Amino acid sequence: MKSTLNVNGKILKLTSPQIVGILNVTPDSFFDGGQYEQMEAIIARAAAMLEAGADWLDVGGYSSRPNATPITVEEELHRVIPTIKAIQSTFPTSKISVDTFRAEVANKAVQAGAHMINDISGGTLDDKMFETVAALQVPYILMHMRGNPQTMQSQTTYENILVDILSYFRKKILKLEGLGVKDIIIDVGLGFAKTLTQNYFLLNHLEYFKRLNKPLLVGASRKSMIYKLLGITPSLALNGTTAVNTLALCKGANLLRVHDVKEAKEVVTIFEQLSTSSD
């Protein structure tokens, strides 16, 4: 597996699982919507996640929860660009990812100081995204999704979910690499156009996607695959998230995208100790 990323000219080795801390500057995200809209709260949240061990801060200004209300490009830019600039200014050594499926937002976010693009649509919702990533030469998280946040839950029928998603990734990777994109991270898209059962099937077969020779990111934090299964709310889904993150690492995940950095860091520490002890 490719085990390095070029981050702003510096080589980042993925020898240890990376923690990607979620920073949603939205009023309507499913778990923390509305908590981080004021800059003081945003910076405090960023500081807390970095202190807890986050390797990345993933800034998102457009909620991708099912049936989320669409917003304009202008509104998304209004949310994420000042946030990225403030984080970069306050924490100049931090690594920032921008969670967007829009090429214009991705471009302006990188110009503002972001180092990576996290695209839930894998280039499907903006046909300029791939060429933008190629021009920017930044790492790109390629996620699997069907439809959009408003329609994805009605598109969960697969002939063979592993083969179908692998084929999706291979086609996208071929196109990206043809454009000169060098650093691609794979995200199977838990919760995006998948049923609860399909989510756990993918988690259980995560190593299947290692044949793509790309780092794997898993983002299951407090999602419905956890809280609906357990009959609880997202606010009570931390324990379930920890269980899923542990399984994801055992199945080959290289990056965990999480709301709760401290707990995820503890999972990584224990996982690495287990790995060391097995040698």
pLDDT per residue over 30-69, tens digit each? 445 456 568 888 999 999 999 999 999 999 998 877 667 7
Measure the CA–CA gap between 278 and 25, rounded to whole angstroms: 41
Measure the CA–CA gap between 121 and 141, rounded to whole angstroms: 10
The answer to whether 120 and 62 are in contact (CB under 8 A) is no
Residues in the chain: 279
User: What pLDDT score was predicted for residue 27?
Assistant: 72
User: What pLDDT score was predicted for residue 276?
Assistant: 83
Eight-state DSSP code of residue 64: -
User: What pLDDT score was predicted for residue 34?
Assistant: 53
pLDDT of 7 strictly over 60: yes
Q: Which helix (H) or strand (E) holds 12?
A: strand 10-13
- Is 4-277 a CATH 3.20.20.20 domain? yes
User: What pLDDT score was predicted for residue 275?
Assistant: 82
- pLDDT classification of 152: cutoffs 50, 70, 90: confident
Q: Is 170 a catalytic residue?
A: no
How buried is residue 169: exposed, middle or buried, by Cβ count under 10 Å (0-12/13-18/19+)? buried
Question: First-to-last CA distance in the chain?
Answer: 20
Numbers of helices and strands, H then E, in the chain: 9, 10
pLDDT tens digits, one per residue of 236-249: 999 999 999 999 99
Average pLDDT rounded to a whole number, residues 76-102: 96
Measure the CA–CA gap between 214 and 15, rounded to whole angstroms: 13
Q: Is 79 a catalytic residue?
A: no
Report H helices in the chain.
39-52, 73-90, 103-112, 129-136, 161-179, 196-204, 224-230, 238-250, 261-277
pLDDT tens digits, one per residue of 12-31: 999 999 999 999 988 754 44
Own/partner pairs, 270-276, CB within 8 angstroms, 24+ separation: 270/246, 271/17, 271/246, 272/16, 272/17
User: What pLDDT score was predicted for residue 1?
Assistant: 76
Average pLDDT rounded to a whole number, residues 251-257: 97
Q: Name which of 139, 117, 137 is nearest 59 in CA terms.
A: 117
Q: Where are the domains of the chain?
A: 4-277
Name the active-site residue from 79, 194, 257, 265: 257
Name the active-site residue from 146, 223, 251, 265: 223
